Amino acid sequence: MFKKILIANRGEIACRVAATARRLGVKTVAVYSDADASAKHVAACDEAVHIGGSAPKESYLRWEAILAAAQATGAQAIHPGYGFLSENEDFANACAAAGLVFIGPPASAIKDMGLKAESKRLMEQAQVPLVPGYHGANQDPALLQAEADRIGYPVLIKASAGGGGKGMRAVDKSEDFAAALASCKREAINSFGDDAVLIEKYVQRPRHIEIQVFGDTHGHCVYLFERDCSVQRRHQKVLEEAPAPGMTPELRARMGEAAVAAARAVNYVGAGTVEFIVEQPGGYEHPEQMKFYFMEMNTRLQVEHPVTEAITGLDLVEWQLRVASGEPLPLTQDQLQIAGHAIEARICAENPDNQFLPATGTLHVYRKPAHSSFQRADVRVDDGVREGDTISPFYDSMVAKLIVHGDTREQALARLDEALAQTHIVGLATNVQFLRHVVRSDAFAQAQLDTALIQREQAVLFQQQPVSLPLAVAAAVAQTLVQERATQGQDPFSHTDGWRSHGVFTRRFAFDDGDAHLPVTLAYLHDGALRLTVGAGEGAVTGPLTFQAQAPTEAGAWALHVAFAGDSTRATVHMQGERAHVFTPRGARQVVEVDLLAHSGDSGAEGGRLTAPMPGKVVSFAVQAGDKVSKGQPLAVMEAMKMEHTIAAPADGEVVELLYAPGDQVAEGAELLKLASA
């Protein structure tokens, strides 16, 4: 076993590798960029070396600086994690040339599987089923268009050197192909330095099922069963589970054996994942009719590896370290067994109600459910951030991975929903509540899985408000009253309990739920009771307000039980300025307690301009000054958090001026162009 390794990555995977290394008595070296100087993964390792600027090209992709850091600290091996350099053939070769062990497959395997067209050819020779498509070297756009027309729409354009959903577009009709191809190539060259693409038939209602494989230097290779990764948005995974629902033992064996054949075809060593697209010709009710086709092989550890660890009770990072140090695989195929069911939810900084637009900001509140670490824990959290950390625009948007394990899928689903309910994040938009909507949906609960589940179930999954506005306001008012009482002194004249020797004292609040101003009154009755009225006129909701408060769960937030207007709930309210973040077992909601005096001088929002919805880089403009545009027309493309985002016209108008040029970095809220109303 190694004595010291360098982890050439950041965030949760760097922390994850460091934890196993520490358990095995292996020292670790972290590398970090300017933006990550105080990051959690730096503190998790025994040593740390600064390698450059905040952008990945200035730090985590500078393999010369990483090799120098390894040599300077006496590391014997480098663990690449996933992303960045994990599937970089040149980096693997450079490690070997520097006398360092690359904790991953041979460079030749990375090369063979990294170019999707070449991997398809190899899989065909290994008799692994393939999806019909074009995998040739000729990248002439006219030829690619002709091949897509020949295959028949819909087709999928995929970056040949890609992964993680980048450089991938589904195209429904021939006239949309050219624009989608150009966008794919741009994203591919920025992410992978290679704009070659392949084209495949887009399988209708497919499932995405992958097989975890492991090989060693002694000629052994096994599969550690499957993971279903069908629930996706923008071709990126949202929820993963193991084993795959509806998987028959016969199909599991055939897919596992095909995955091992794929790995053996490239003399694979270490952890890898063979990804299959699975067709369901008989629908969800007939899983025995499923057909599978090779999609690609990821020559690294996957983000979703914890669900495999949960059902097998194994530490896959430990297996990586042991295999890389020359040891044989710890178990044979016959010794591997499945126990229970596991699901992983990716908690990301993004706004699901705004096309999953990535978010940046500070984790002012970051509260996690009670959890353990690794293997078969009922609840596990893998993260690389702490409360107070900043989610920056330089890296991907994932905040944490929440993994649950149960004896059955139903038990795992219940645990996941409860754990998500206990996850409180304040400071930036996240997908936590959206994940709860997915987990609670009939389609997911009944395992009606395919890669279009989110799109198909939009009416159920988006814009849900499981907590009523009156109850959320009642919880926010209760939080205010509890805080006031907790901070009052002994002077009776400082009390704000509303007591009067005669008459009824009425206190006024103002709330905003994002759509409308909401007047609120609280009456202190003679018997000590509180009567709350939310709203005005016929739509007003009024009734007694009661609440009980326990000791504060953390600074500024109390565990409350609130009852109002025939509804009640447990709630925790986190205040961020005027915004009250109300978390309950049934869901969460935000309301703004408006200080009318503080906002008396505010002016209306400006019109006639378009601003950047997030920090990022301007990729291109689709218009020029003087162009007339219509509502919904694409105006510009921005790149942030490794993804492209299209900025569309909010209304008909005329472009007055472009304020930036392609390649410029812009801050969130920066005005990109001026648009005059039609």
Mean pLDDT, residues 587-607 taken together: 62
C-alpha torsion 323→327→331→334, nearest 10: 90
In the predicted model, is pLDDT for residue 594 greater than 70?
Answer: yes
Which tokens is 57 given?
A: 């090209």
Superfamily name and number for 132-201: ATP-grasp fold, A domain (3.30.1490.20)
Q: How far is CA 81 from CA 45, 185, 259, 261, 541, in A?
A: 14, 26, 21, 24, 54
CA gap 274, 270 in Å, rounded: 13
At residue 602 the predicted structure's pLDDT band, cuts being 50, 70 and 90, is very low
Torsion angles phi and psi, residue 252, rounded to 5: -60, -45
CATH says 609-677 is which class? mainly beta
pLDDT given for residue 494 in this prediction: 41
Q: Which pLDDT band, with edges at 50, 70 and 90, does 175 fall under?
A: very high
* Count of residues in the chain: 678
Residue type, 503: G
| Domain 4-103 in this protein, CATH class | alpha beta
Mean pLDDT of 257-261: 97
Catalytic residues: 300
Question: What are the Cα distances from residue 11, in Å, to 35, 45, 73, 141, 571?
Answer: 12, 12, 21, 38, 31
- Strands 505-512 and 587-593, by their bridges, are antiparallel
Peptide bond between residue 328 and the one before it cis (omega within 30 degrees of 0): no
How confident is residue 489, by pLDDT bands cut at 50, 70 and 90? Answer: low
Q: What CATH number labels 469-593?
A: 2.40.128.200
Could you give the CA distance from residue 523 to residue 23 in angstroms, rounded to a whole number?
A: 59
For 305-349, how does the pLDDT look when each residue is reduced to its tens digit (9 = 90+)? 999 999 999 999 999 999 999 999 999 999 999 999 999 999 999
Helix (H, G, I), strand (E, B) or coil at 667: coil
Instruction: Report the alpha-carbon distance of residue 661 to residue 642 in Å, rounded.
Output: 19
Label residues 509-522 b or e (16+ Cβ within 10 Å = b). Answer: bebbeeeeebebbb
- Contact partners, residue 600, CB within 8 Å, separation at least 6: none
For residue 348, the surrounding DSSP H or E stretch is: strand 341-348
| Pair 72, 49: CB distance under 8 Å | yes
N- to C-terminal Cα distance for the chain? 70
Other beta carbons within 10 angstroms of residue 624's beta carbon come to 10
Q: Which of 360, 385, 365, 348 is nearest to 39 (CA)?
A: 385
- Residue corresponding to tokens 């509502």: 631
The bridge status of strand 398-406 relative to strand 379-383 is antiparallel
% residues pLDDT > 70 (the chain): 93
Neighbour tally for 504: CB within 10 Å: 11
- Please say if the pLDDT value at position 492 is more than 60: no
* pLDDT range class, residue 600, cuts 50, 70, 90: very low
Give the sheet arrangement for strand 634-640, strand by strand. 643-648, 634-640, 616-621, 665-666
Query: Position 556: which residue type?
Result: G
Residue labelled with tokens 């126990």: 339
Q: Look at domain 207-461 and name its CATH class.
A: alpha beta
- Higher-confidence position of 116 and 139: 139
Q: Enter the pTM of the model.
A: 0.82
Average pLDDT, the chain: 90
In the predicted structure, residue 249 carries a pLDDT above the cut 90: yes
Q: Is the pLDDT of residue 501 over 70?
A: no
pLDDT of 555 higher than 80: no
616: which 2 tokens?
């990022």
Q: Tell me: pLDDT of 188 over 80.
A: yes
Instruction: Compute the half-sphere exposure of residue 377: CA atoms within 13 Å on the CB side of its CA.
Output: 18
Question: Domain map of the chain by residue range?
Answer: 4-103, 132-201, 207-461, 469-593, 609-677
Q: Are 245 and 291 within 8 A, CB to CB? A: no
